[in-house]
Each structure stands twice: as C-alpha cells, then as structure tokens.
Amino acid sequence: MQRKYLPSFLLLFILLGTTFTSRAEVVQYKLPSNGLVAVADYTPGDTKRPAVLILHGLLTTNRFHTVRAMMETAQELGFGVLAPNLTYAIPRRNESVLCTSLHRHTLDMEAAEIHDWIDWLRQEGYPSVILVGHSAASQLFLYALKQKPRKDVSGLILTSLLYLNGPELGTRQAELDKARRMIEEADSTPQKWHWVFCRGNYLATPESYLSYTKLTRPFILQTLKEISARIPTYVVMGGADKRYERTGRNILDQYRQSGAHVVVIDGANHFFSSEHQFDLQDTLSDILETHAAP
C-alpha cells in the first residue's frame, strides 16, 4: 500500500510526526556491560506484543530523521518503542560525533550495549523484541546476534544494510597492516584512518578501527543467511541508494539468496529521504502488523 501526499502537505506531516515522537520519555540507564550511562527515547506500549528496538546509523543518534520516522510508525501501532543512542564510550551521549572525534569504542562494545537494551526491554515485561536497524545498525544487529544468539528476539528488520570493510569502500590494506602491528606492539596511540565516509580523518585507536573491519561483505552475507534461518528477517533497501556505485546492485540478489525477505523501495536513497520516508513507514507498518500480532 502506498500513500500519496501533495508537496504542500509535507510540512504538516513532518510537524505532526515531531509532535508524536516527542511523547517518548528519555531513559537513562547504567549499562551492565560497561558501566556507562546511556540514554534512549522510550514509549511504553502493549506488553502482550513484542517491543520494538530501533537503532541509528553510524556516528548519529536517535534524532536522525530515518530513525524518527520508524519510531513514529511503531508508536502509532501501539508497540513499546525504544530508540537508544550507542554511547561510543561517551556517557549520556546525545549528539552525533564526527570522523575527527576521538574514537575508542569497539564493535564488541556496541554489541554488548545492544544486548543490554534488549534485557532492559524484557525487564519491562515484553515477551520478545523486534530489532529495527538503519544502515550500520543493521550490521551491528547481525554481529550481536551471531556472537550471542537469543530466543527472545522475534524479528529483525534491517534497512539500508551494507557492510563496513572492503577495498571498494576505501579500506586500505596498508592501514589494516599498520593497525595490526600497533596492536602487536601494545601501541594504542590514536591514528587517522580511511573508513567508509571518513576519508583519512577517522581518528581512532587501532583497536577501535580494527574491530569494525570484521564487518566484511562475506561476513554480512553468511551471518544474514544463518540468522534468517531461525528469525524472521527483512531487508529493506532504497532502490536509488548511491552506495550501489561501490557495492554493485548484485548485492540485492545476494540478500535474496540468503533467505531474508527483501523489499526494495524504488527511488529511495540510503536514508529514505523526502517522500520516500512515507514509503518506508508503510513498509515497516506492513511488516510489524503481519508478524507481530498479539
């Protein structure tokens, strides 16, 4: 089902959505895994149904417009909705960080934070949790569930799923080798690296930088196949995502071969901007209503 809106109505819907998501309460939670206080937006919902945990993309927050649109959809359907900010090793982080910020966080740290928040929702009385990720968060969910499989995750909705490590994405072998040498020499001095959209200015310890290089294309595809076999998994992609220029559009066929349900929104970019936000909301609504009935 597709909604159609006249351009003159866009501002009205944006304002209404902002008002709706503002009903969420801010939660501060001392994470068991690392002792840091993290923040999240939380809207209580029907505890007879799964809660929905929505996670932002790389270096952003739960205020990112794609995340807000998905929050609004789940809230309108009556789900309990939690949208945390990954700490990136910063207590109470509520702002985006830059490539040039000092990065000491690691992939395993983020995976542990995801499990902390799932546990928090279970303690709130929800029978299970549906994970909804945007961009890098989609990869983090796959990694977290591969490292620690859970029976209380009842669904996985991965939007703009790609990967973080590959020469086609700008990863440089010389930098990988340097990071490994530094770790062998117990040298944690932050360096500037090429990483995804950070063009030689990603300031991070070698441990931090190297941890994310586990997220290669083969790893994502194999993990997607494994998890799709036991958890209902949906991959929602924009048909006009410019990242296909680097990855190739054949990645969509590889997702389909993994066993995941693949939905491509024609014309949408990586962030489902503009009118495609409503297409994303319709798609998310259909998935949640079909697979998360009471």
Q: Token pair of 7, please?
A: 């351009």
Q: Strand pairing of 51-55 and 25-30?
A: unpaired
Contact between 142 and 65 (Cβ < 8 Å):
no
| DSSP conformation letters of 95-160 | S---TTS-B---HHHHHHHHHHHHHHHHHTT-S-EEEEEETHHHHHHHHHHHHS--SSEEEEEEES
In this structure, the dihedral spanned by the alpha carbons of residues 120, 220, 205 and 180, taken in order and rounded to 10 degrees, is: 140
**Confidence check: pLDDT of 180 > 70:** yes
**Confidence check: pLDDT of 196 > 50:** yes
Give the closest residue to 135 by CA, choosing from 273, 285, 288, 292.
Answer: 273
Domain positions in the chain are 25-97+106-164+215-291, 168-214
Average pLDDT over every residue of 165-188:
97
Type of residue numbered 212: Y
Query: Which CATH class, in words, describes the domain spanning 25-97+106-164+215-291?
Result: alpha beta
Which of 19-23, 127-131, 243-247 has the least mean pLDDT? Answer: 19-23
By residue count, the chain amounts to 294
Q: How many Cβ atoms are within 10 Å of 6's Cβ, its own excluded?
A: 6
Give the rounded distance of the alpha carbon of 262 from its chain centre: 17
- Alpha-carbon distance 114 to 32, whole Å? 11
- Secondary structure of residue 21 in the 3-state scheme: helix
pLDDT-derived band at 11 (thresholds 50, 70, 90) equals: very low
When comparing pLDDT for 287 and 293, which is higher?
A: 287
> What phi and psi, each to the nearest 5 degrees, are found at residue 158?
-110, 115
Contact between 272 and 238 (Cβ < 8 Å):
yes
- Mean predicted lDDT score pLDDT of the chain: 93
**Confidence check: pLDDT of 20 > 80:** no
Looking at residue 290, its pLDDT comes to: 87
* Contacts of 207 by beta carbon, 8 Å cutoff, 6+ apart: 104, 106, 183, 188
Angle, vertex CA 116, rays to CA 114 and CA 117, nearest 5? 70
Looking at residue 215, its pLDDT comes to: 98
Contact between 171 and 198 (Cβ < 8 Å):
no
Residue 239, burial from CB neighbour count under 10 angstroms (0-12, 13-18, 19+): middle
Average pLDDT over every residue of 238-254:
97
Q: Token pair of 118, please?
A: 């799932």
> What phi and psi, each to the nearest 5 degrees, are found at residue 171?
-65, 135
**Confidence check: pLDDT of 7 > 50:** no
Looking at residue 14, its pLDDT comes to: 43
> What phi and psi, each to the nearest 5 degrees, are found at residue 128?
-165, 180
When comparing pLDDT for 17 and 9, which is higher?
A: 17
Looking at residue 265, its pLDDT comes to: 98
The proportion of the chain whose per-residue pLDDT surpasses 70, expressed as a percent, equals: 91
Looking at residue 22, its pLDDT comes to: 57
Looking at residue 63, its pLDDT comes to: 97
Q: Token pair of 277, please?
A: 């936000």
Looking at residue 13, its pLDDT comes to: 40
Looking at residue 21, its pLDDT comes to: 60
pLDDT in tens, 66-118: 999 999 999 999 999 999 999 999 999 999 999 999 999 999 999 999 999 99
**Confidence check: pLDDT of 10 > 60:** no
**Confidence check: pLDDT of 6 > 50:** no
**Confidence check: pLDDT of 195 > 50:** yes
The sign of the torsion formed by the CA atoms of 145, 24, 98, 242 equals positive
- Alpha-carbon distance 211 to 227, whole Å? 21
pLDDT-derived band at 292 (thresholds 50, 70, 90) equals: low
